Amino acid sequence: MPEVTAVLGDVTTQDVDAVVNAANSRMRGGSGVNGAIHDAGGPAILAGCIERFPDGLATGEAGWTTAGLMPARWVIHTVGPDYRSGQTDRSLLVSCYQRCLAVADELDATTVAFPLISAGIYGWPHKDAVRVAVEALRDTESAVREARIVAFSPRTLATVQTLL
């Protein structure tokens, strides 16, 4: 099981094997973390999404592309549930973290940086989003050594550290 750590920072600058993208189901870029990853990684990420996910990706699933220009080697894309539009099934959010670890295992990635999935524009309640991330990463069998939660704000970092 991975060691779960937390840092304050930008997921796109993490020196890890893979970074996780909180993607939308279209898999064609977007805003928030998704937009930042596509911007930082350059056009190779979008090209990979078009090639690997021509029909998009279902909520709770995950897949990978190159990380393009980022320090990481891969981006693991996952589609979190949109709480604001009524996708409130917690198991879908748990599945995002579990599937990301499974994809990391397929890639032999041992260090993975995660944003909080669904906690931004998808509106998942903040404390529960942190709880799901910590518990799912801590409790999922994986060869990943470090699952790093990258907090964008000091408030989020403090919440994650409290649960760790």
Question: What pLDDT does 112 receive?
Answer: 98
Question: What pLDDT does 16 receive?
Answer: 98
Pair of tokens at residue 86: 């009524």
Half-sphere exposure of 15 (CA within 13 A, CB side): 0
pLDDT tens by residue, 117-134:
999 999 999 999 999 999
What is the spatial distance between Cα 86 and Cα 78, in angstroms, rounded to a whole number? 18
What is the spatial distance between Cα 67 and Cα 74, in angstroms, rounded to a whole number? 4
Using CA atoms, how far residue 74 sits from 66, 109, 127, 132, 150, in Å, is 4, 9, 28, 23, 16
Question: What pLDDT does 126 receive?
Answer: 95
pLDDT tens by residue, 2-21:
999 999 999 999 999 999 99
Half-sphere exposure of 48 (CA within 13 A, CB side): 17
Pair of tokens at residue 106: 């397929």
Question: What pLDDT does 11 receive?
Answer: 97
Q: Which domains does the chain show, CATH number per domain?
A: 3-163 (3.40.220.10)
pLDDT tens by residue, 19-61:
999 999 999 998 999 999 999 999 999 999 999 999 999 999 9
CB 108: neighbour CB atoms within 10 A?
9
Q: Hey, which residues does 19 pair with through a beta bridge?
A: 75, 113
Question: What pLDDT does 41 receive?
Answer: 98
pLDDT tens by residue, 59-105:
999 999 999 999 999 999 999 999 999 999 999 999 999 999 999 99
Question: What pLDDT does 154 receive?
Answer: 96
Q: Could you write out the three-class secondary structure of 94-145?
A: HHHHHHHHHHHHHHCCCEEEECCCCCCCCCCCHHHHHHHHHHHHHHCCCCCC
Using CA atoms, how far residue 81 sits from 69, 73, 78, 98, 133, in Å, is 28, 26, 10, 14, 13
What is the chain's Cα-based Rg?
14
Q: pLDDT category, 153, cuts 50, 70, 90? A: very high
